[in-house]
Structure 1
């Protein structure tokens, strides 16, 4: 299993924490992992992306150039910037709440997930849109267990944010259910 994942969006959309959760979850499941963040000039509101590799084999380089197997694009600039990094038959998860354009690639699998709308309507918290997308990814890839992801969440945010675990768990389930019911 090799997943070369790019998570990208505006600062403040939780793309870095999504990547960290993926990496920690992979470690919990004894996978080889790497997490490489990249920030724009501003944090909140600027561009942000990270590369995550989950593998059963040692990882030679944490850099993902034109070999991404998955792109999670939370906004239009992310889609435009990274869609060409996907390999043939790669997976594109796009936040269709913010991205109205379709990908011009016909050789990839595209999943349109209205993450912001689902987070607002079903979780009453727009801040968990990243976890909705993460849940959708987990349902598509079957790469990690929810228990590992929730444990990874606690590793990153600590016990001081443990009260946010239920809403994030719900958001993961909302993303999973959206994929089950629509794809």
Structure 2
């Protein structure tokens, strides 16, 4: 198994955190892992993306040009990365703020209304975990118990009281994901 993922959006949407939690979850599952963040100097409001590779074999390079999965959280990222999803791969996106929806016919496209759900439950900080849950529903590359271990590793100890809330957000994402197009 080898999964090459890009998560992309605005700074402040939890893009890098989601990648870090996914990476730690893979480590907890004894997988080989790379985590390569990229963000502009603006941080909040600027663009951010992270490439995560999970594999049961050694990873030869953290640099990839095409992805098995793209998790897209804004229009700029959709415009930039839609074309880099491997044929037959997955594009998962939150339609909030998207003006041109994904158009490829050779990939599997899913949407999760995470921003809307986070607003509905009055928990903006749950946004990225809702998206993460949607991803795990279609690509269960790590077990939930390892995600909890990953959360414990990546969150400062003072925020460990939020882990149950994060678990609930993951479950919400799993429940509300919608298929748009499958090949």
Which TM-score tier does this pair reach, normalised by the shorter chain?
Answer: over 0.9
Partner of 2:58: 58
Identify the structure with bigger relative contact order (alpha carbons < 8 Å, sequence gap 6+): 2
Moved more, 149-158 or 26-35: 149-158
Distance 1:54 1:72 in 2: 15
TM-score by length of 1: 0.94
Q: Residue 113 of structure 2 contacts residue 176 of structure 2 at CA under 8 Å; is this kept in 1?
A: no
Deviations 1:84-116 (CA, angstroms, capped at 9, x unpaired): 111001100011122242112110100011110
1:79 and 1:29 mapped to 2: Cα distance? 30
State the Cα deviation string for residues 68-93 of structure 1 (Å, max 9, x = none).
Answer: 00000011111111111110011000
> How many Å separate the matches in 2 of 1:112 and 1:39?
24
Q: Normalising by structure 2, what TM-score?
A: 0.94
Q: Secondary structure at the match of 1:77?
A: helix
Aligned to 1:24: 24
Task: Name the structure 1 match of 2:67.
Answer: 68
3-state SS of paired residue (1:37) = strand
Q: RMSD of aligned C-alpha atoms?
A: 1.1
Aligned length: 179
Q: Give ranges in structure 2 of 5+ residues lacking alignment.
A: none
CA distance in 2, matches of 1:167, 1:80: 32
* 2:7 equivalent in structure 1: 7
Q: Cα deviation per residue 1:13-43 (whole Å; 9 max; x = unaligned)?
A: 0000000000000000000100000011311
Per the alignment, residue 169 of structure 2 pairs with 171
Matches within 5 A, 1:37-116: 37-65=37-65, 67-116=66-115
Q: Which 4+ residue blocks in structure 1 deviate beyond 4 angstroms?
A: none
- Helix, strand or coil: the match of 1:9? strand
Alignment of 1:127-146 (within 5 A): 127-146=125-144
Alignment-derived partner of residue 158 in structure 1 = 156
5+ residue gaps in structure 1?
none
Shift of 1:178: 1.2
